[in-house]
Structure 1
Amino acid sequence: MSKQKVIVLAVTEQGLSHSQAAAKYAVSRQWVHELIRRYRAGGLSAVEPRSRRPNSVPQRTPDDIATRIVHLRGTLQAAGLDAGPQTIAWHLQRQGHATPSTSTIRRILHAAGLITPEPKKRPKASLHRFEAAQPNETWQSDFTHWSLADGTDVEILNFLDDHSRYLLACTAYRPVTGTVVVNTFAQASSYYGLPASTLTDNGLVYTARFAGGKGGRNGFETLLAALNITQKNGSPGHPQTQGKIERFHQTLKKWLTGQPAAHTLIELNDQLGKFRQIYNHERPHRALDRRTPANVYNNAPKALPLNARQGGHWRIRTDRIDTTGKISLRYNARLRHIGIGRAHAHKPVLMLIHNRDVVITETTTGEILRELTIDPDRDYQPRQ
């Protein structure tokens, strides 16, 4: 029997006064009066504890917003995108809805059974993370494996700006080669400008220092040295150095898993183009205070290579030597033909052009095949 019933019976059956019952059961006389009033109005059942829940909750999240939160959770997860409370709040705000706090969104997701408890994670305060101070200060690059619908293994090459997480390039190849890396870097830098440095692992497409040679450079190393770009490589067996792009690969694969399996490289690259648009312009990034990479990249001054002849004067071109040992280059609105030599016919080359100065290297090996200053009075630039 509850204490409230015992007090009522002590007054009504045992004849105790209100003051005596209050003293005996260590409650106030006002509370005894209230219990007797309830008893006379509704019997013993009326003296049981009542719910303290308010009749109305003015600040309660409207049902339509709660429904929208649950719907966004499912939609984002189905698309392979982040669907945490902070991301859902960002999408609600972007769509013009009233935005509850992230703790409220988390409670709604818990109540709907949409959050799976996880083991306690390592505290963020224990992580010491490097971040470039400006866009183009450091570009990280790496490639990861993916499978087409028939199981064919392909490789996806990525270049990521360290400061803004802006995805500069994301393309699938079969396989990624040194020439592919050079060409992709050349295309990205022609559009976004030259970075001050790069950060990669020690794969042979990035460096030849562990290839067993005698200090030679590959094409990527030669290109960076010619442009005075600092090349940084992580320690062997320590992928945490390239942590941002390693984490990016998880985001990329999670999104690809939510898409129909691509049957060809063309289909996969179409998907990667769509992902790049979403990642750069439509997906808020937690490490960027919920801003998009494009917003951060485009709204800050860009870093430059130290002491490099930088800016619009630099041109980077890739080509292939023809059967007669020549390549062509447009200068001052006229097509110039540059002699390399028949011994180098069909080799892929990289041309670095600054005003009239041209450096031509073999893309795969990094060997410098020719350096020249264009004679503006001649169409054919003979070997000297």
Structure 2
Amino acid sequence: MKETNRNRVIVLAITEGNLTVLEAATRYNVSKRWIYTLLARYRTGGLDAVDPQPRRPHSNPNATDKATITTILKLRARLIAEGLDAGPESIWDRLPAQTRPSTATIWRILRRNNTITDQPQKRPRSSWHRFEAAAPNETWQSDFTHWPLTDGTDAKIISWLDDHSRMLLHATAYPEITGRVVIDTFTQTMDTYAPPASTLTDNGMVYTTRFSRGHDGRPKQPNGFEQLLSDMGIVQKNGAAHHPTTQGKVERYHQTLKLWLAADGLVATFEALDTQLVRFAHVYNTQRPHRAIGRRTPETAYTAISKAVPVIDIADTIWRVRYDQVDATGTISIRYAGKLRHLGIGRAWARKRVLLLIQGPETMVIDRDAGEIIAEHTLDASKDYQKKK
């Protein structure tokens, strides 16, 4: 018998059937105290009052207030409209610290208001195996993706991403991605951020020819990008074939990029797309906290600790490598012993791109194109201008 029916039967058996409380307790196997409770409810509210009462409290002092719920839903809609991540953690980052609930509460609010759906097919986070460079510039990831212009032209966007911080170092669009484009974008990025200790890309021919063979069956010669990395002592790493998750950070970045571009709207020219990419890089690097780096922005993570550098072993001596350009006066500026120093190279080499090798106070400047040493110095901490040997 249902609890509702039994309670009513007990009350009616006493009030209409003239059973005593003791007889009713014995017949229906309940306590006399419970029967007296039912009779008290009956006298004040009738039969409806003896039905089981909900145990849920009338109010919850810990419930999220309506204003916060409204703010959460508005933030969700705004982030989606802007093409940014709109999950509970992204919303949490943007709520006032003194009023924001937990990310689990935000998720329940979104789910209760039908703004998200469960995705049980996703792998649990505990099954992920994450690999992350220990320092900025330890590894740069690169790849390119497709994006249409308004007339349907297929633009290719090449990006360079720091593995440690997720900092977007470079993103530009081209009709085609060639070996020359890879080299030019890489050197432009080095001009701004200094060279990385290693790179990680897929096995595309613009990045590597090590897995390709010519018509004679022999391995192909290294392409220009591979030769540049070799000259600079930069370790080249390539993901295994058919395993794009090796470059998972740049693949995930592409998803964020395309959501933002779609929300911002298609443009008609490559120049306009490059302008969009500059704006996106600012948002991505400085305004968007990233879960994988402790809810910091990529720029914050990139500048938090010292950067890694490539090294070259020459005659059992380890030299740090810097990619540089001789200025118009024929010098290169470096910081040594806490002060800026100017290395004399010679006006004949003005604007020349070179490799600068540093080992303690010793330096070696190499013309990268010719592969020859053009200057050497023993740094003197008491002088600003350093004459070459």
TM-score, normalization: structure 2?
Answer: 0.81
1:148 Cα deviation (Å)? Answer: 0.5
1:147 Cα deviation (Å)? Answer: 0.7
Structure 2 residue identity aligned to 1:44: L
Match of 1:22 among 22, 25, 43: 25
Runs of 4+ aligned residues of structure 1 deviating over 4 Å after TM superposition are none
1:65 Cα deviation (Å)? Answer: 0.2
Asked whether 1:225 is paired with 2:230, we answer: yes
1:309 Cα deviation (Å)? Answer: 4.2
Matches of 1:280 and 1:223, distance apart in 2: 28
| Distance of aligned partners of 1:370 and 1:120 in 2 relative to their CA distance in 1, 3 Å threshold | closer
Asked whether 1:288 is paired with 2:296, we answer: no
Asked whether 1:187 is paired with 2:192, we answer: no
Q: Is the 8 A contact 1:194 1:310 kept in 2?
A: no
Asked whether 1:87 is paired with 2:90, we answer: yes
Structure 2 residue identity aligned to 1:81: L
Partner of 1:352: 354
SS in 2 for 1:154: strand
- 1:270-281 to 2 correspondences below 5 Å: 270-281=275-286
Higher deviation after alignment, 275-284 or 231-240: 231-240
| Distance of aligned partners of 1:37 and 1:374 in 2 relative to their CA distance in 1, 3 Å threshold | closer
Matches of 1:371 and 1:143, distance apart in 2: 34
Deviation readout 1:104-152 (Å, 9 max, x if unpaired)? 1111111211112323312233332322122111111111111111101
1:15 Cα deviation (Å)? Answer: 1.6
Match of 1:315 among 295, 311, 324: 324
SS in 1 for 2:264: coil
1:71 Cα deviation (Å)? Answer: 0.5
Q: Is the 8 A contact 1:186 1:316 kept in 2?
A: no
1:360 Cα deviation (Å)? Answer: 4.2
Matches of 1:202 and 1:29, distance apart in 2: 82
| Distance of aligned partners of 1:90 and 1:338 in 2 relative to their CA distance in 1, 3 Å threshold | closer
1:211 Cα deviation (Å)? Answer: 5.9
Would you say how many aligned residue pairs link Structure 1 and Structure 2? 347
Matches of 1:230 and 1:175, distance apart in 2: 26
Matches of 2:352 and 2:146, distance apart in 1: 27
Partner of 2:383: none
Structure 1 residue identity aligned to 2:30: V
SS in 2 for 1:2: helix
Question: RMSD between aligned alpha carbons?
Answer: 2.7
Partner of 2:380: none
Q: Is the 8 A contact 2:345 2:374 kept in 1?
A: no
Partner of 1:34: 37
1:370 Cα deviation (Å)? Answer: 6.2
Match of 1:63 among 47, 60, 66: 66
Partner of 1:123: 124
Q: Is the 8 A contact 2:195 2:310 kept in 1?
A: yes
Matches of 2:328 and 2:180, distance apart in 1: 20
SS in 2 for 1:170: strand
Q: Is the 8 A contact 1:329 1:337 kept in 2?
A: no
SS in 2 for 1:88: helix
1:353 Cα deviation (Å)? Answer: 4.0
1:5 Cα deviation (Å)? Answer: 0.8
Partner of 1:178: 179
Matches of 2:198 and 2:345, distance apart in 1: 34
| Higher normalized contact order (CA 8 Å, seq sep 6+, divided by chain length) | 1
Partner of 1:252: 257
- 1:231-250 to 2 correspondences below 5 Å: 231-250=236-255
SS in 1 for 2:169: strand
Partner of 2:307: 302
SS in 1 for 2:311: coil
Matches of 2:319 and 2:286, distance apart in 1: 31
| Distance of aligned partners of 1:356 and 1:86 in 2 relative to their CA distance in 1, 3 Å threshold | closer
| Distance of aligned partners of 1:329 and 1:360 in 2 relative to their CA distance in 1, 3 Å threshold | farther
| Distance of aligned partners of 1:193 and 1:310 in 2 relative to their CA distance in 1, 3 Å threshold | farther
TM-score, normalization: structure 1?
Answer: 0.82
Q: Is the 8 A contact 2:25 2:31 kept in 1?
A: yes
Asked whether 1:43 is paired with 2:33, we answer: no
Match of 2:270 among 254, 265, 274: 265
Structure 1: runs of 5 or more not aligned: 318-327, 340-348, 362-368, 376-384
1:217 Cα deviation (Å)? Answer: 2.4
Partner of 1:103: 104
Identity of paired residues, percent? 47
Matches of 1:300 and 1:283, distance apart in 2: 20
Matches of 2:23 and 2:352, distance apart in 1: 102
Q: Is the 8 A contact 1:329 1:335 kept in 2?
A: no
| Distance of aligned partners of 1:352 and 1:215 in 2 relative to their CA distance in 1, 3 Å threshold | farther
SS in 2 for 1:258: helix
Structure 2: runs of 5 or more not aligned: 313-317, 332-343, 357-362, 377-389
Q: Is the 8 A contact 1:18 1:29 kept in 2?
A: yes
Asked whether 1:10 is paired with 2:18, we answer: no
| Distance of aligned partners of 1:218 and 1:329 in 2 relative to their CA distance in 1, 3 Å threshold | farther
Higher deviation after alignment, 220-229 or 174-183: 174-183
Q: Is the 8 A contact 2:330 2:349 kept in 1?
A: no
Structure 2 residue identity aligned to 1:243: G
| Distance of aligned partners of 1:310 and 1:183 in 2 relative to their CA distance in 1, 3 Å threshold | farther
1:214 Cα deviation (Å)? Answer: 5.5
